[in-house]
Chains A and B, each alone.
Chain A
Amino acid sequence: MAARPTKAMAKAKAKATDADAPAPTMDSLLATKEIVVACGPGGVGKTTTAAASALMAAVNHGSKVLVLTVDPAKRLANALGLDGIGNTEHKVPASAFKAAGVKPRGELWAAMLDTKESWDSLIGHHAPDEQTRDEILANPLYQNISGRFIQSHDYIAMERLYEIHLSAEYDLIVVDTPPTRNALDFLDAPERLADFFSSRLLRWLIVPYRSKLVNVATKPFYQISDRILGTEFMSDISEFFILFQTMYDGFVERSKAVGRLLSDRRTTFVVVSTLEATPLREAEFFAEQLTARKLHLGAIVLNKVLPDYLQGRAGAKVAEAMKDRAEDLAAELAPVVGAGDAALGDPAQIARVLTEVADSYLNFQVVALREMEERATLAVTPDVLATAPFFDTDIYDLKGLLRLGEQIWE
């Protein structure tokens, strides 16, 4: 049920493709890239799209594929064999494929992101010795940063991606991005972290708090922070960063490497959206930003697109006739409708059904036309523009993922 392309889309596609080369598809994109980052606004089916893409690649390409999800729906997590929590990578069992009626040419692996565990392991990785590691892990500030405050998701997701990439275990890694306050946060996170650790201000903080050299530049800073936050808290902070200092170089280097991986040629971004105005504008902005940062915008996937049959003027005319002439039509139809069961042949009831059905069609047409309009005005041109229809049931197993995957594949 691939959506009818609009003129603007056809043009966009033509521009993005060489005259001779076949038009790129999700199929060709996932066959050539090593890392796919699925991103976009919340509530548009990002996780499902990431899982469906990874599944299709495992089924069709004979490669070893990992999908790294952040917060999958429980039933979907179960379908992927992610019953527990934690960072471990699981192979999706053969039985799940069998139940879905497919024989994969490759392997599908799945992992969930456990923010706290990832931070802890990162600290373990960078800490110079066990004592420093334990002191950091026990520090209340660290526990707050790693656990409670969600901005730390942004960095750790990319860091974990990097770690898995370094393990060289997979042909393709599809990563789902965390719901960030701002869709771009996770892109900036590595650089922000690097900036943070190399900042002069941090050096002010980590001058042992009691013995710091107060100069003209830093004096107001200390005065105000003491007054607001209290000396004790300030010295907690400084202690924390003194501990952290031992890991600066490692951290800075690492976050730069994560940043480089995102802009590597082998990495591509898939922006997921629906055709509702607000998410689509956000997705569009996001796609523009990717391009501005010279990151590869591989595809835009539009989910939950209403069926084409809702768009035509012909359908609307039929619906209007059904509504306007409901009683006449019902009278004519009553004998045919009630032929099998006389109880169904009540003209008044048939008229009501005709009116309801027609109203519903006309209502949904308003939404479908609005969506078509939104799609026509889409201002970015990815290599691939894929659409998936509105599914009438939730997607919670491999079968459902395949149904979605096949829609966006070619």
Chain B
Amino acid sequence: MAADPLTPLLDRKLVFVTGKGGTGKTTVASALALLATSRGKKVLICEIDAKGELAGYYEAPPTGFKEKEVQPNLFAMTMDTEASLREYLKLQLRIPIVGRIGPVAKAFDFLATAAPGVREILTVGKLCFEVRDKDWDMVVVDAPASGHIVGQLAAPQAVNGLVKVGLIRTQTDWMLEMLSDPVITGLLAVCTPEEMPVTETIELAVRVREQTTVQLAGVVVNRVLPELFGRQEEAVFDALAAPGPLTALDELVDGDAAPVLDAARLAVTMRRTRTTHLERLRAGIDPTVPLLYLPFLFTRSHGLRTTRQVAESLGEELGY
């Protein structure tokens, strides 16, 4: 790999955010976009798996294929391959079939199922198009989960291998160039300090390196639990939890303190198990790839407030 320093995350124009299901991929993607706008950038965030959840992270009504401003200078859209095809035919090929898109789109939907890579190309193509032809400072992609992202990012090569001529071929060439440029494009993997997410992230890093031309720009370690005590404090805690002192504490606070101490013990054990996974992650990922740690959030719910808190933590980790 090149010895050049990594392009800082926020300086890249196209960032794909992926991660194992349940690790907070969408939270991190929405926070990254929010952070970028707070640094004065005009940002587009795109949700690929149209679950229609992204807008909720900004307290905004559901979004569609046409981008909508959900926060000042922050626009959100939902990927729709059929709409993407329509736009592509109209803008790139100048095929005016707006009125008759129904049956043709159906045929293409079918072809996309039959010919692997077509759907992926329409998705990646739309994103690359936004980066190249619009005035976004940054495009953040709430990308497919880690099991699917490689297929997505490798689609231009796969299609290049299958399709020798035709317009798609010309298109994939410039898309590949953009995806391969680490100054422009990067992948951000989200994981939590647990066994499977860490294992999957390490495997993902290998597959991304071997099967795609996209650079892994960083790994976000989400939901890191706080360290409660140092060694000496832990000894004090153990002494405090012994029967004599515990009874004394019960009397002093006029209640049962055991659950409170149990909870602390649970928190300490949880943090410990996770530490070993964190060590495994650090050892398994190329040392030049930064790990960004985000704290476990003890908040009431999801929504803009959570997104903002995560954006702040992310900003601190990135040194802003």
B147→A179 contact, CB < 8 A: yes
Report yes or no: A340 in contact with B239, Cβ–Cβ below 8 A: yes
Chain A residues lying within 8 Å of B113, measured Cβ to Cβ, are 192, 196
Instruction: Report how many A-B pairs have Cβ atoms within 8 Å.
Output: 244
B133 shortest CB reach to chain A, Å: 19
New A-B pairs, 9, CB < 8 Å, besides A73-B196, A140-B161, A314-B255: A43-B22, A73-B195, A196-B113, A201-B106, A231-B165, A231-B166, A312-B259, A356-B229, A367-B298
Report A-chain residues with C-beta under 8 Å of the C-beta of B148.
150, 181
A310 on the B face (CB < 8 A): yes
A318 near B115 with CB under 8 A, answer: no
Please tell me which one of the listed residues A43, A141, A148, A333 contacts residue B20 in the complex, with CB atoms under 8 A apart.
Answer: A43
Count of interface residues, chain A, beta-carbon cutoff 8 Å: 91
Please tell me if the beta carbons of B104 and A220 are within 8 angstroms of each other in the complex.
Answer: yes
- Chain B residues near A42 (CB-CB < 8 A): 20-22, 145
Closest to B270 in A: A392
Nearest CB of B to A152, in Å: 9
Q: A309-B259, A392-B273 are in contact. Are A228 and B168 (CB under 8 A)?
A: yes
**A24 interface residue, CB < 8 Å from B?**
no
B152 to chain A, nearest CB (A): 10
Q: Name the interface residues of B71-93: CB closer than 8 Å to any CB of A.
A: 89, 93
Q: Point out residues on A near B: beta carbons under 8 Å.
A: 41-44, 73-75, 140-141, 144-145, 148-150, 178-179, 181-182, 192, 196, 199, 201-202, 204-205, 217, 220-221, 224-233, 236-237, 241, 274, 276-279, 282, 307, 309-310, 312, 314-315, 317-319, 321-322, 325, 329, 332-333, 336-341, 343-344, 346, 349-350, 352-354, 356-358, 360-361, 363-364, 366-367, 370, 390, 392-394, 396
Q: Which of A232, A312, A344, A370 contacts B239 (CB 8 A)?
A: A344
Q: Of B93, B107, B199, B264, which contacts A221 at CB under 8 A? A: B107
B239 to chain A, nearest CB (A): 5
B residues within 8 A CB of A392? Answer: 266, 269-270, 273
Decide: A357 and B100 in contact? CB cutoff 8 A: no
Would you call A360 and B267 a contact (CB within 8 A)? yes
Chain A nearest CB from B173 CB (Å) reads 13
- Verify A43–B197 contact, CB threshold 8 A: yes
> Which residues from B are CB-within-8-Å of A336?
244-245, 248
Question: Are A179 and B239 in contact, with the CB atoms below 8 A?
Answer: no
Tell me whether B237 is interfacial, beta carbon within 8 Å.
yes
B166 touches A233 (CB 8 A): yes
B23 within 8 A of A: yes
Known contacts being A179-B147, A181-B49, A318-B253, is A229 close to B116, with CB within 8 Å? no
Residues of A contacting B162 in the complex (Cβ-Cβ under 8 angstroms) = 140-141, 144, 233, 236
Bound: A22/B203 CA distance, A: 47
**Does the CB pair A41–B166 fall under 8 Å?**
no
Q: Which of A217, A282, A309, A353 has the most CB of B within 10 A?
A: A353
Q: Report the separation of the CA atoms of residues A178 and B298 in the bound assembly, to the nearest whole angstrom.
A: 31
Taken together as a complex, chains A and B put the C-alpha atoms of A350 and B239 apart, in Å, by 10
The one of B20, B22, B168, B196 in contact with A229, judged by C-beta atoms closer than 8 angstroms, is B168
Q: Does B292 contact A (CB under 8 A)?
A: no
Rounded to whole Å, the gap between the CB of A226 and the closest CB of chain B is 7
B308 close to A (CB within 8 Å): no
User: Contact partner of A43 among B23, B51, B95, B168, CB < 8 A?
Assistant: B23
